[in-house]
Structure 1
Amino acid sequence: MRRSSAVILVSASTVTLGAGWVIGAGYWAPPEIAPTAAPPTVPVPTAGSTDAATDAATAEPGPVAVDGAVIDTKYGTVQVQVVIDGEVIADVVVLKLTDSSETSVEVSARAAPILREEILAAQSTAVENVSGATYTSDAYRTSVQSALDAAGFTG
C-alpha cells in the first residue's frame, strides 16, 4: 500500500507540473520588447564625392584616410591605410604586415618605416624595394597604390 501511494503521488505531481507548464506558458513568456529605432545616419564625405551638397558642407576638406587592398604574399598579408590631405600623401599607416614566421615579422617591421618614408618623400609608389624585403616591398607598394587609386589621387 505504501508503494502505490508513492507512485500515485509522483504521478499526480508530474501531471500537475506538466499541466502547469503548458497552461502557464503564455503567462510566463517574457514580455515583448518594442523594437528600437535605428540610429540616424549622417552622410560622410568620401574621396571623389560628386554630391554638391556634401561638397559645399565640407568647403575646407581635411585629410581623407583610405584603406588599401589586402595583398597576400607567401609570408603573410600586407595592408596599409593612406592618409591624403588635398594633393599630398600625408601619411601611410600599416594595418597588417606579414607574420608567417618570426623572420617575416622582423623583415616587415624593418622594411615598413623605410617604405613609408620613401613613399612620403616621392609622393608616389615609384620607390625601390627594401633590400631583403622584396615581397613586403611589393605588397606594401601595391596596397598603397590601390588606396591612391580608390581615392582618385593624382598627386
Structure 2
Amino acid sequence: MRRALLAITGLAASTSVLVVLKGSPGATQVAQDLPRTPTPVAPGSADPAPAEGEVAAEASAAATTGPRPSRSPSRAPSARPSSGSGSDGGGQTRKPSAPRTTTKPPAQPTTRTVTGPVVENEYGNVQVQIVVSGSRIVDVRALELPQETAQSDQRSEQVNGRYSGSGGQVVERQSADVDTVSGATATSTSYKQSLQAAIDRAN
C-alpha cells in the first residue's frame, strides 16, 4: 500500500514538471536549439533545400545590407562608320591626299633683234643690229659699213672686228661706250650712233 502511494505521488510530480516545462519559454528555446533531422534528398536532384536556420540567416543579412544595386548592361560602341568626309561608304578611312606642287620651269628670256638707223658719213653708210636676250645684249652685227675704197674697207673691218660679234666690246660692256678705232674715227662714230639708237629701241 505504501509503495503504491509513492508511485502515484511520483507520477503526479513528473506530470507537473512536464506541464511547467511545456508552458515556459525556456523550454521552447531548448526545443528550438535541438538539432533537426536533415531533410532527405533524392539522388540526382539539385542542391538540398536550405534549412530554416540558414534561410533566417540569409534574410537577416539581406535586411542588414539592403538590396544590392543592379548593374545595367553596358552598351557596346556603335559599329556604324561615321559619315564624315574622311570615310567612304565601306567604312575605310581615306588618307588625306598630299597637296600637289606644280613647279613651273623657269621662263626662258625673250630674245629680240633690234636694228638701229642708218648713219651716213663722208665714207659711206653705217647701220648696226643687236640681239637682246631679256635685258642683255648677246650679239652685235654690222649690217652696213663703208666699202667704197680699199682704205674704207680696211677701216670698216677694223671697226667691225673690235665692236661686233658675241665677244666684241659692245657685248662685253653692254653699252655703246666703246673705244674709238684709231684711223677710223668717222666710221667708229657712225657705228656708235646707230648702236646707241638700237639699244634705246630695245629698252
| TM bin (shorter chain) | 0.5 to 0.7
Partners of 1:139 and 1:71 lie apart in 2 by 6
Name the structure 1 match of 2:31.
Answer: none
Name the structure 1 match of 2:170.
Answer: 119
Between Structure 1 and Structure 2, whose CA radius of gyration is higher? 2
Indicate the larger mover: 105-114 or 69-78.
105-114
Q: Structure 1 residue 98 and structure 2 residue 146: aligned?
A: yes
Given the two structures, how large is their TM-score scaled by the length of structure 2? 0.44
Partners of 1:131 and 1:120 lie apart in 2 by 20
**What are the within-5 Å matches in structure 2 for residues 1-155 of structure 1?**
60-116=108-164, 117-152=168-203
Give the gaps of 5 or more residues in structure 1.
1-58
Partners of 1:122 and 1:80 lie apart in 2 by 16
> In the alignment, is the contact (CA less than 8 A) between 1:91 and 1:120 conserved in 2?
yes
Identify the structure with the greater helix proportion: 1
Residue aligned with 1:147, SS = helix
> In the alignment, is the contact (CA less than 8 A) between 1:77 and 1:99 conserved in 2?
no
Deviations 1:89-136 (A, max 9, x none): 111011100122111011101221202211111110111101111111
Partners of 2:169 and 2:109 lie apart in 1 by 25
Higher relative contact order (CA 8 A, sep 6+): 1
What displacement does 1:61 show? 4.1
Partners of 1:115 and 1:138 lie apart in 2 by 12
Partners of 2:159 and 2:125 lie apart in 1 by 14
Identity rate, percent: 38
Given the two structures, how large is their TM-score scaled by the length of structure 1? 0.57
Give the gaps of 5 or more residues in structure 2.
1-106
Kindly report the root-mean-square deviation, in angstroms, between the aligned alpha carbons of the 2 structures: 1.3
What displacement does 1:60 show? 3.8
